Amino acid sequence: MDNLLYLALGAALTWAFYFVQRRVEKRSAVEAIERNQKLLDLKQGLDESNTNLDDLRHFEQRLIGKAETAARIADNYFTKAEEVARQSDDAAVTQRDMNQQALEEFHRADARLATVVTHLRRQLDDETLAVFDDAHRSWLQFRDRYARFVSQSYAGGAVRPLIHAVTLESITELWSNELETQLGDESL
């Protein structure tokens, strides 16, 4: 009787193990089929849009570059806010000093922009260079108008020059970083 019980128990365990194993194998097969189907859909989508993997990698690098730029600018704003808070507690630092410091930082950002523009211009052919020069002139006009708009949004006249300079600096940094993404793998 014991042998019959052991035989039935062994058969039940074997049967259970078989179905568990089949379920596990089936799940991995289904997952592989689904993964391959997604890859096929992606490949077909890429073929339809005339996009290749190098285009996707370049796009990814540009997105990563923009995210890094946004993080740097956010960090820069945070640092400036801390500095302004520290300086506002310091009676020796005047509004004029803060304005001058912000203006100097804008001039540093503007010098960096000039370097990036010079480097980028060397890479462009005549037709593309003319289009870029027109776009850059328009951007410079936009930068000045935008900074004036932002600074005039503040009611207090004493803080306006500071806001104007900080806005000029931040938007100049954004434009420099955008142009750097156009340089691709080339460095300055």
Neighbour count for residue 171 (Cβ, 10 Å)? 20
* Mean pLDDT value across the chain: 79
Q: Are 93 and 87 in contact (CB under 8 A)?
A: yes
DSSP of 55-69: HHHHHHHHHHHHHHH
pLDDT digits (tens, 9 = 90+) for 123-158: 889 999 999 999 999 999 999 999 999 888 876 667
Structure tokens at 123: 């890479």
Torsion of CA 90, 93, 94, 98, to 10 degrees: -110
- Which tens digit of pLDDT belongs to each residue from 38-94? 888 877 887 788 877 777 777 777 777 777 767 776 676 667 666 666 666 656 567
Pick the closest to residue 130 from 138, 72, 89 (CA basis): 138
pLDDT at 98 over 90: no
For residue 169, the tally of other CB atoms under 10 A from its CB is 23
Among 167, 174, 170, 172, residue whose Cα is nearest residue 147: 167
